[in-house]
Amino acid sequence: MHEARDALGKRLRELRSAAGLSGRQLAESLSWPASKVSKLENGRQTPTDDDIRSWTSATGSEGEAEALLASLHTLEVQHAEWQRQLRGGLKPHQQEIAELDARTRLFRAFESTFIPGLLQTAEYARYRFGQSISVFKVRNDINEAVATRVQRQAVLYRPDKRFHFVLTEAALRYRLCPPDVMIGQLDRLVSLTSLPNVKLGIIGFEAPYVVAPAHGFWILDSDRVMVETFSAELNLAQPQEIALYGGIFESLAGAASYGRSARAIINRVIEDLAPEAPEDVS
């Protein structure tokens, strides 16, 4: 990510130099603070599409704009800030993920804090999306986003797809929604263990770890690793990174319980939550 941003900044500097402009002259022509030119050229700030267009126009290098924008968009995929991804609402992002789902054959996912989107009930998803709206102050299109996420889950029933999910017991117990909603979510997990192309592992609190469950991640086929941080979605595509995460996933999967043992952990959590849920849910 840093190297790619450095390379983009270097190319911008070359265009400025070729135009015979100092950094201050370019900044003045664009009504920018001089520090912005320096940050862009030294890879300390990621340019926007408008920044690229303004830069190439001011340096008389409009013909370079398309290639620079392509480099920028590749960079954005590697480090996709949530503010940018969600500025059009939650639903468009779910549609983009659905397109990625359609191209993927093998899904490997580890989550330590929450239930993966493909396994969520509509009610649980509503609370997850509610957090996104609260944190990022984006448009409230929760109803549409929930409907799109539920539609995405049809991919679970396609025989040409394979799924391997590994969750920590903590992910089953974190209070990210009311107890009755969580009980419904856990009940869905139990039912999903019967799908022939879905492998669901649960790492109980008593299980020893070889690798610490530092953060969740998805491995799509052997092409991409997706990691969600508070600020951005990271898309890692270097072969050594994919191999590293593949090994970590195997280690975590080896610590998990499956089948009847996994269902026993889930049912144990349901029993612990039941006294806190409304009577009809219990």
Written as tens digits, the pLDDT of the chain (282 aa) is 677 788 889 999 999 999 999 999 999 999 999 899 999 999 888 899 899 999 999 999 999 998 888 777 666 667 667 887 788 899 999 998 999 999 999 999 999 999 999 999 999 999 999 999 999 888 899 999 999 999 999 999 999 999 999 999 999 999 999 999 999 999 999 999 999 999 999 999 999 999 999 999 999 999 889 999 998 888 887 778 899 999 999 999 999 999 999 999 999 999 999 999 887 654
Give CA separation, 1 vs 38, 154, 229, 244, in Å. 18, 34, 15, 17
List beta partners, residue 198: 163
The vertex-135 CA angle with 134 and 139, nearest 5°, equals 60
Whether 118 and 185 have beta carbons less than 8 Å apart is answered as no
Q: What is the model's pLDDT at position 76?
A: 61
Rounded CA-CA distance 3/26 in Å is 24
Q: Phi, psi (5° rounding) for residue 32?
A: -105, 155
How many CA atoms are closer than 13 Å to the CA of 190, on its beta-carbon side?
16
Q: How far apart are CA 242 and CA 26, in angstroms?
A: 41
Report the half-sphere exposure of 96 (CA within 13 A, side-chain side).
10
217-220: strand order across its sheet: 79-81, 232-236, 224-228, 217-220, 106-111, 162-168, 198-203
C-alpha 263 chain-centroid distance: 27
- 3-class DSSP state for residue 207? coil
pLDDT computed for residue 141 by the predictor: 93
- pLDDT value at residue 220: 96
